[in-house]
Amino acid sequence: MKSKIMITSMFFISFLVHSQKVKISASEPDANIIVNGANVGTGSYTLSLEKKDCYKIKVEKAGFLKYESTVCGKKAGPEPPSSLYFEMKKDDAEEASVKTDQANVDFQIEVNPDLNITEAWKLTTQIVTDHFDAIEVSDKETSYLRTAWSVQSFQQNTIRTRLIIKLSKSDPLTFKVKLNSEYSGLSGTSVKADEQFKDWDRILRKYKNVISDFSNRLMKK
Q: Check whether residue 108 and residue 53 sit in a common domain.
A: no
Tell me: the pLDDT tens digits for 4-17? 444 444 444 444 44
**Where is average pLDDT lowest: 29-38, 51-60, 76-85?**
76-85
Average pLDDT over residues 167-173: 93
Cα separation, 107 vs 175, in Å, equals 8
User: Coil, strand, or helix at residue 61?
Assistant: coil
pLDDT band at 75 (very low <50, low <70, confident <90, very high): confident
Q: Check whether residue 113 and residue 85 sit in a common domain.
A: no
DSSP state letter for 64: B
What contacts 198, CB < 8 A, 6 or more positions away? 182, 183, 184, 185
Q: Check whether residue 77 and residue 113 sit in a common domain.
A: no
Tell me which of 71, 90, 109 is where a domain ends.
90
Whether residue 172 has a cis bond before it, omega within 30° of 0: yes
Percent of the chain exceeding pLDDT 70 equals 90
- For the chain, strand residue ranges (E) read 20-26, 32-35, 38-42, 44-49, 54-60, 67-72, 83-86, 97-99, 106-110, 135-139, 144-147, 150-153, 158-170, 173-183, 198-199, 202-204
Tell me which of 62, 90, 118 is where a domain ends.
90
Determine contact, residues 88/29, Cβ cutoff 8 Å: no
Domain that holds residue 158: 97-218
Q: Check whether residue 109 and residue 207 sit in a common domain.
A: yes
Q: Check whether residue 201 and residue 104 sit in a common domain.
A: yes
Q: Is the pLDDT of residue 3 over 80?
A: no
Q: Check whether residue 54 and residue 137 sit in a common domain.
A: no
Q: Check whether residue 102 and residue 211 sit in a common domain.
A: yes
Starting from the edge strand earliest in sequence, which strands make up the sheet with 54-60, in order? 38-42, 32-35, 54-60, 67-72
Cα separation, 175 vs 178, in Å, equals 10
Residue 78 has a pLDDT of 84
Q: Check whether residue 81 and residue 148 sit in a common domain.
A: no
Q: Check whether residue 86 and residue 101 sit in a common domain.
A: no
Residue 16 has a pLDDT of 44
Q: Compute the mean pLDDT over every residue in the chain, rounded to the nearest whole number.
A: 91
Tell me: the pLDDT tens digits for 83-96? 999 999 999 999 99
Average pLDDT over residues 59-72: 96
Q: Check whether residue 181 and residue 158 sit in a common domain.
A: yes
Q: Check whether residue 79 and residue 119 sit in a common domain.
A: no
Residue 173 has a pLDDT of 94
Average pLDDT over residues 15-28: 79
Q: CATH code at 6? A: 2.60.40
Q: Check whether residue 148 and residue 75 sit in a common domain.
A: no
